Amino acid sequence: MGARIRDLLGAERPIFGFGMDPEVAIAASRAGGVGIWGCTRRTPEEIEEGISRMKAALGDLPWGVDLVIPAGMPETDDRSAIESTLPEAHVAFVERMRHRYEVPDDGLPGMRSRFVRSEETARDQLAVVMDHRIPLLALGVGSPTWAVEQAHEQGSMIVSLVGRPAHAETAIRAGADILVAQGTDSGGHTGPIGTFTLVPLVVEAAGGRPVLAAGGVATGRHLAAAMALGADGVWIGTALLASEEAAPSPVLLDKLLAAGVTDTVISRSVSGKTFRMLRSSWSDEWSAEGAPEPLKMPHQDILIGDLLGQVMRHEVAPLVHEGAGQGVVHLTDQEPVATIIDRLVAEAEQVLGRVSD
């Protein structure tokens, strides 16, 4: 299983493990997979530090980083320019949420509001990444040609996340080397097409390029099914959310382990784009009658970023949530990343053996 990924990247196992903490990615690569650090919400200095950590920990093992560079963002990282356009009714709604749930105002921004997602930030982030000549650069939500070209010049392979066959074609035109077919089941930004439907369509559109299946892959049965659908491997996020290395806060860990299959929702309330996350009072408030329509990215980030940061820092339980996919139903214990990856592979091998019997 996974010969193509082994030949291409030297990974023993065709499992790409996405995490927002470098420790998750490091553990995924050490477990024989390919660890991917999602650093789109990190400053250039933090990216420098995280990449140095990964390089030192991983040596020749395959790994990569993920940036999100959507089209149509403002030119500069200018928070006050965005703030001056926020509608009063939206600001008042957010303030009412703060009072209703008694969220302490510690005066600090959150992950989404400490800088504005802008072309300036994307260029600064990419400059740091490119200084390091990393093996893989993954691009979620859009694959701009300028970023792909820079990465190729440095010898990095480009992995593009796509949610529709048409996005696969655009990513290939931009120069993508590997495609991730990410179905609607997935956590984080996601489209409307289910993984089972999407993967074979992206395999057809990929023109022979490797394809990874993402969205709902949380057991070895999913890994085996992904290979049967024509994928060369899988890309997982939710399955690692409750891991020891991800180290979620106690309130978030409880919610992740307790979540059932209908406990995620797609909402524009955190970033302005459709994002699958744990259902909580946060998503309920934003979908209640009379709630304002979330703003577009990056305005929604700035509208809610400080409040959400404070919710998470102070663990305001009803509002605490995280991006999470439908596979969250399979999380039952806090385990090391290696245990999760070992189990996926062992179960997939068993299932594939059964299928070929």
280 binds ligand FMN (CB under 6 A): no
214 binds ligand FMN (CB under 6 A): yes
Nearer Cβ to ligand FMN, position 214 or 316? 214
DSSP assigned state of 177? S
CB 356 to ligand FMN: min, Å: 26
Among 187, 220, 294, 298, binds ligand FMN (CB under 6 A): 187
324 binds ligand FMN (CB under 6 A): yes
Q: List CB contacts of 7: < 8 A, sequence separation 6 or more.
A: none
What are the φ and ψ backbone dihedral angles of 30, each rounded to 5 degrees?
-65, -25
236 binds ligand FMN (CB under 6 A): yes
185 binds ligand FMN (CB under 6 A): yes
Stretch that binds ligand FMN, among 164-172, 179-187, 338-346, 349-357 (CB under 6 A): 179-187
Cα angle: 124, vertex 128, 132; to 5 degrees: 160
Nearer Cβ to ligand FMN, position 50 or 140? 140
CA-to-CA distance for 273 and 294, rounded, in angstroms? 9
DSSP-derived 3-state class of residue 175: coil
Token output for 341: 């990856």
Size of the site for ligand FMN (CB under 6 A): 29
CB 41 to ligand FMN: min, Å: 7
Go through the chain and tell me how many residues it has: 357
63 binds ligand FMN (CB under 6 A): no
217 binds ligand FMN (CB under 6 A): yes
DSSP for 186-224 reads SSEE--SS-HHHHHHHHHHHTTT--EEEESS--SHHHHH
Among 61, 184, 325, 344, binds ligand FMN (CB under 6 A): 325
DSSP assigned state of 264? E
Could you tell me the maximum CA-CA distance found in the chain, to the nearest angstrom?
Answer: 65
CA-to-CA distance for 234 and 228, rounded, in angstroms? 12
CB 56 to ligand FMN: min, Å: 23
237 binds ligand FMN (CB under 6 A): yes
Q: List CB contacts of 185: < 8 A, sequence separation 6 or more.
A: 194, 195, 215, 216, 276, 325, 326, 327
Among 161, 172, 316, 320, binds ligand FMN (CB under 6 A): 161
68 binds ligand FMN (CB under 6 A): yes
CB 37 to ligand FMN: min, Å: 10
Could you tell me which of 121, 198, 204 has the C-alpha nearest to residue 161?
198
Site for ligand FMN in 32-61 (CB under 6 A): 38, 40
Stretch that binds ligand FMN, among 54-62, 72-80, 100-108, 324-332 (CB under 6 A): 324-332
Helix H or strand E segment including 51:
helix 44-58
Check if the beta carbon of residue 13 is closer than 8 Å to that of residue 219. Answer: no
Among 135, 188, 191, 305, binds ligand FMN (CB under 6 A): 188
The amino acid present at 55, given as its one-letter code, is: K
CB 66 to ligand FMN: min, Å: 5
215 binds ligand FMN (CB under 6 A): yes
Site of interaction with ligand FMN (CB under 6 A): 18, 20, 38, 40, 66, 68, 138, 140, 161, 182, 185-188, 214-217, 235-239, 241, 322-325, 327
